[in-house]
Structure 1
């Protein structure tokens, strides 16, 4: 369930400003479902091998960091 929560309950606040600062929040159930789906997607990407060109680039960057100067 998506609910709205005011970020600032200042009684001096003008109505229009208060409306524009409302933050949307998600229920714990929806957040858990999104987290589960994101983990599932990330796990499939994380299990793939690192491309050779990325490994070469990382090695070159590491070598540059070790050089004095």
Structure 2
């Protein structure tokens, strides 16, 4: 460790000011947390109303709102 490195710095972990951003360790931690969050979202079932909407779009069928405004 040199005088300009903060205590507890990891090898290859450059100070934020030198790079103008987050440390490598902080970026990796945020990346892992975002992946865990997105993975949990992907595991959620698609709501029925979204399935119905997608089916209508695939069929080209108008929605009940479209019929009333025509």
If the length of structure 1 is used for normalisation, what is the TM-score? 0.55
The alignment status of 1:31 with 2:27, answered yes or no, reads yes
Structure 1: 4+ residue segments shifted above 6 A: none
Corresponding position: 1:3 with 2:8 = no
Q: 1:29 to 1:61 in 2, by over 3 A?
A: same
Structure 1 position 42 matched with structure 2 position 38: yes
| Count of residues paired in the alignment | 46
5+ residue gaps, structure 2, are 1-14, 61-70
Bigger fraction of residues in strand: 1
Q: Deviations over 1:1-52 (max 9, x none)?
A: 54376xxxxxxxxxxxxxxxxxx51121111100100111111111011011
Larger RCO (CA within 8 A; separation ≥ 6): 1
Query: What is the root-mean-square deviation of aligned Cα atoms in Å?
Result: 1.9
Alignment-derived partner of residue 49 in structure 2 = 53
